[in-house]
Amino acid sequence: MATLTMTDLAYLKCINPACGAQFDVGTTNFRCQECGSLLDVCYEWDRLSVPKSLAEFERKWTRRFDSLGFSGVWRFHELLPFAPPERIISIGEGQTLLQPSERVAKFVGITPGNLFLQYEGLNPSGSFKDNGMTAAFTHANLVGAKKAACASTGNTSASLAVYCSAHTGMKAIIFIGSGKIAYGKLAQALDHGALTIQIAGDFDDAMLRVQQVASRMGIYLVNSVNAFRLEGQKTIMYRVLEGLGWQVPDWIVVPGGNLGNSSAFGKAFIELKELGLIDRLPRLAVINAAGANTLYSLYEERGVRWNGGQGDTGAIGGFYQEMDAANRRASTICSAIEINRPVNLSKCLRALDACDGVVREVFDQETLDAKAQIGAGGLGCEPASAASVAGAKLLREQGVIAPSDRVVCILTGHQLKDPNITVAYHSGNRELFEEVLAKRNVRRASFANRPVQVTNDLEEIESAIQINS
């Protein structure tokens, strides 16, 4: 009998139960060739060596000199075994932390010690995207790709550019919409040598075009429609469990944009339960920005559900038609989730179904106030990250989350991804506030930490310090 490689034990499968078509992991077509649905990376678990306990992964910390042991993604290789170790592409991603925050717990209304922040801003490119990009790049390496492309509001482009620059032989091509990107993020892509294509339109337009171009030109696509991206993002939940002593929390609260994270988290917990590594699933809360609330509108207002894979496509299509007819574009200060047509909608519906999920929308004002509290508690995050905390606060006020629940809020990116918003909120500069925030219906900076202005006089400086400290 021939020796089996990892790729022999993994395959792609259509998520539509009525189809269920299977494909070789060597394909770069990330939609089902039979029905057009999204694909999952699946494994023949009964033929794989899976640890009997999650705690066994702790032994990997003794091998931190090894690149796979050091990676917070590939330490869990046994749970995403689609590639042999020698073909894995890693830059040390996943060195993130889970931190309790008493300040944020008080703000949300959770018992001290029960609210945790999973901070993904410590990744090499400054966001959670690196968890998925290492897996996508590994697959790209397996299939011999020479060019990789994405549509981006900023974080995906930064991550793609970093991986391309760190591993020669692959060119990064980035599609952005006009005026729809945070320049702190775009700067990363430019600095790392990516080719940037700025089109007239928004993220949804860029997403449509990059899929068309990738298909026509044979370019490897790394957006989260790529099932391997989500395999890497599963590991965020493994690290959350690790940080909680392998205990499952009551709630995972995550911002919702293209819905890759929520989809990946659901898949992670479903697999862990099936493998007998956890005994229950947490509840999942996905938080939209009010200005980009497709999931909230469909799930909470129109009652669209997974329904065993037979979701109401008519309601979804009708919603998009209404949106197009009104020329309604996503508009929120949270650039990372400023998306109207989330490509992972169906996978997210599946995750919500499995995890008894809820969806909420929060306004930019609520998000920026939450961001200020997160920052004052010791972790700086981009605006979209703070939607998770704003959403947890709303769910607590509604009585959905109990004060005694153990809650994990996902902070997806570093505060320096979008510094102009932070400065506008705290600076006290009214002109800057109006220019950056007021046009997004942010009316106040309730938790602003404004500079104290004094003359160049020693006694006045000392007096200001005494009064304000």
* pLDDT tens track, the chain, 469 positions: 344 566 789 999 999 999 999 999 999 999 999 999 999 999 999 999 999 999 999 887 777 678 788 899 999 999 999 999 999 999 999 999 999 999 999 999 999 999 999 999 999 999 999 999 999 999 999 999 999 999 887 889 899 999 999 886 789 999 888 765 666 667 888 888 899 888 888 888 888 999 999 999 999 999 999 999 999 999 999 999 999 999 999 999 999 999 999 999 999 999 999 999 999 999 999 999 999 999 999 999 999 999 999 878 899 999 999 999 999 999 999 999 999 999 999 999 999 999 999 999 999 999 999 999 999 999 999 999 999 999 999 999 999 999 999 999 999 999 988 888 998 899 888 998 998 898 888 999 999 998 888 888 899 888 988 998 7
CA distances from 385 to 69, 334, 367, 375 (A): 28, 8, 9, 11
Q: Distance between CA atoms of 10 and 447, rounded to whole angstroms?
A: 50
CA distances from 50 to 77, 88, 138, 440 (A): 10, 19, 21, 49
Q: Distance between CA atoms of 244 and 239, rounded to whole angstroms?
A: 9
Q: How many residues does the chain have?
A: 469
- Write out pLDDT tens, residues 420-435: 899 889 988 899 899 8
Q: Which residue has the tokens 């591993």?
A: 167
CATH code for the structural domain at 97-125+229-421: 3.40.50.1100
CA distances from 398 to 105, 253, 392, 394, 401 (A): 16, 15, 10, 6, 8
* Angle, helices 155-166/183-191, rounded to nearest 10 degrees: 20
- Residue 69 contacts residue 75 (beta carbons within 8 Å): yes
> How high is the pLDDT of residue 47?
93
> How high is the pLDDT of residue 186?
73
- Residue 298 contacts residue 323 (beta carbons within 8 Å): no
Q: Distance between CA atoms of 127 and 133, rounded to whole angstroms?
A: 11
Buried/exposed code over 428-458 (b: 16+ C-beta within 10 A; e: otherwise):
eeeeebeebbeebebeebebeeeeeeeeeee
For residue 144 the two structure tokens come to 């011999």
- Write out pLDDT tens, residues 147-187: 999 988 788 989 999 999 988 678 999 988 876 566 666 78
> How high is the pLDDT of residue 1?
32
Half-sphere exposure (Cβ direction) of 87: Cα atoms closer than 13 Å: 17
Q: Distance between CA atoms of 82 and 383, rounded to whole angstroms?
A: 34
- Residue 190 contacts residue 165 (beta carbons within 8 Å): no
Q: Distance between CA atoms of 331 and 337, rounded to whole angstroms?
A: 10
Q: Which candidate, 163, 157, 289, 164, places its Cα nearest to that of 223? A: 157
Q: Distance between CA atoms of 149 and 152, rounded to whole angstroms?
A: 10
Q: Which candidate, 99, 113, 107, 108, places its Cα nearest to that of 395? A: 108
> How high is the pLDDT of residue 58?
86
> How high is the pLDDT of residue 176?
84
Q: Alpha carbon 364 to chain centroid distance?
A: 18
> What phi and psi, each to the nearest 5 degrees, are found at residue 384?
-60, -35
For residue 383 the two structure tokens come to 């605006």
How much is the pTM? 0.94
> What phi and psi, each to the nearest 5 degrees, are found at residue 211?
-65, -40
> How high is the pLDDT of residue 427?
86
- Residue 225 contacts residue 344 (beta carbons within 8 Å): yes
